[in-house]
Amino acid sequence: MEPSNNNLLGKKLAVYSDHLSMYDQYGALAYGVILQIIPNEQLAQEVLVSLFSSISLQGCNENVVNKTICIIRNARAKAVEYKTKYASSTSPPINENLVSEDAIPKLVFDLSFRQGLKPEVIAEKLNISRERVLKAFNEYFKLFR
């Protein structure tokens, strides 16, 4: 083997080792985030494997203040990506008459976090203004202060 091939192999093994180490530390956390978005356990496990074998996690080791936040962001992004890939092209409409005013903040958060919808799309689905969607985010986060 050439020296450059040995060097490349060594780098790949180091990255693999880093990913295994991160899986050991953060696998349960990432799986929990993924399950919130994809309740199907088999597909969630597929997403988890894909997450920890992807190169996107390499950024979590490099110049990141908090690895946990990086893992959560990557897990969510990967789960939303899989969900849109495997979900039907149209999601069922939401009957805004069945949604109480008190339930809107949680529903808005769920649509945003679990389904990856943008505020404009949520406003359209719920037949409310974009400003009301942003206010609902604010109300939802106030509950956790």
Report the distance separating Cα 81 and Cα 67, nearest Å: 21
CATH code: domain of residue 110: 1.10.10
103 and 55 both lie in a single domain: no
73 and 112 both lie in a single domain: no
- For 32, the token pair is 């929990």
The 10s digit of each residue's pLDDT in 64-89 is: 568 889 899 999 999 988 888 876 54
Does any domain span residue 91?
Answer: no
pLDDT exceeds cutoff 90 at 13: no
Give the domain range for residue 38. Answer: 3-86
57 and 8 both lie in a single domain: yes
Instruction: Name the DSSP class of 53.
Output: T
Residues contacting 3, CB < 8 A, separation 6+:
none
20 and 69 both lie in a single domain: yes
Q: φ and ψ at 94, to 5 degrees?
A: -105, 125
Report the distance separating Cα 136 and Cα 85, nearest Å: 28
41 and 79 both lie in a single domain: yes
The 10s digit of each residue's pLDDT in 100-110 is: 777 889 899 88
